[in-house]
Amino acid sequence: MGSKEEHHDIVIVGGGICGLATALALHRKGINSLVLEKSDTLRAAGAAIGVYINGWRALDQLGLGTELRRKAIPLTEIRDMWLHKNKLQVTSCRKEELRCLKRSDLIETLAKNLPTQSVRFGCQIVAIESDPITSFPALYTNDGATIKAKVLIGCDGSNSVVAKSLGLQAPKVFPISAVRGFTSYSDGHSFDSHFIRLRGDGVLLGRLPVDEKLVHWFVGRLSPSQDSDVRKVPELIKEFTLETLREFPLEVIEMVKHCDSSSLSLTHIWFRAPWHLIFANFWQGTMTVAGDAMHVMGPFLGQGGSSGLEDAIVLARCLSQEMPMGPEGAIRDRELRRRIGRAMSKYVNQRRLRVMRLSAQSYLTGSVIVASSWAKKLVCLAILVVFLGGGLLSHTNYDCGSL
């Protein structure tokens, strides 16, 4: 059987938040794309996602803000508490519009707004080459097909095939493991609209209400290595988490005990080193990356998902300004390559400083958590203060602009 070959204008590798958002942003500009997703269904790993005002601005541009706001309550304050000290720090986040969205709600809403057949499931890319005749990207799939694209966008996460093809350095791993899950309270919970962060010895527990009955929680702990067997078995994850939280208040232990086991995940924290982002080659020819494939960062700022949504808006805007529309806009390949290159250069220039700053803030915040001595902690905090230079939540002030 000969291998089949197909041609598309724009191919997006990865059907997560950023891939679907990029496809939808292009669709809103009247540009078709094909999303290739290696899973057999929509995937929503990680239970929930915190979205601040900058993320909502991007969702508003996609036309989804109003619908998604109905699915999560606005959180009014962040309460930081220390287990072994009688200490409480309250930060208002009313102006930040922080909400905790179920990932499945976000992913499904993005997907259902795309034209049918926009996403192809069970499609894994094993290699990417430059077509020797046209110089456009050629993708090879695990089932022997060849897909030729005029534009290739890698939204394929921290282990991105497209990022590797661009020669980007592999992400690093923080010595922290994170457990995430949901707990549902059929009669409603009594947690108000507060984001709680409770710190113990080398352990951080976070709790965010999604709505009046559902709560998202996470447990981060220092972990030089984690048995991979535990990661695949929800009951073992639960046992491991309860053991980690044995000194925590009873309501926290009960919350984990009664969680929805199917929502549990245990992962390591990956990040692309901020210093690698300064000169990283984020585009080449007509190929680029977005979301975690470009700038995977720890969850310490709650900006990973929102920054991917920002990428989607900026990239679609830059491409739509340069891409010819419809058959009457047909141009020669050489001119098309030049235009797409200009669009990608513009996109990377508009995003580089933003993602560098977010990555640096996230990296330093994570470093404070894992620093072994107070001296190291103080150095990280001092650098962090210089970087922030405008309030603890200054990273939410960013506006990705209109589509």
Chain segment 228-246, per-residue pLDDT in tens: 556 678 899 999 999 999 9
CA distance 181 to 179: 7
pLDDT digits (tens, 9 = 90+) for 71-101: 999 999 999 999 888 889 999 988 889 999 9
Question: CA 73, 178, 95: angle at the middle one, nearest 5?
Answer: 30
Residue 64: exposure state from Cβ atoms within 10 A (0-12, 13-18, ≥19): buried
Lowest mean pLDDT among 7-16, 90-99, 112-121, 355-364: 355-364
pLDDT at 296: 94
Question: For residue 324, how far is the Cα from the chain centroid?
Answer: 30
> Which tokens is 20 given?
């679907």
Q: How confident is the model at residue 287 (pLDDT cuts 50, 70, 90)?
A: very high
Binned at pLDDT 50, 70 and 90, residue 280 comes out as: very high
- pLDDT for residue 133 is more than 60: yes
How far is C-alpha 224 from the chain's CA centre?
24
**The pLDDT value given to residue 331:** 79
Q: Both ends of the chain: CA-CA distance in Å?
A: 44
Side chain identity, residue 56: W
Q: How many CB atoms lie within 10 A of CB 196?
A: 19
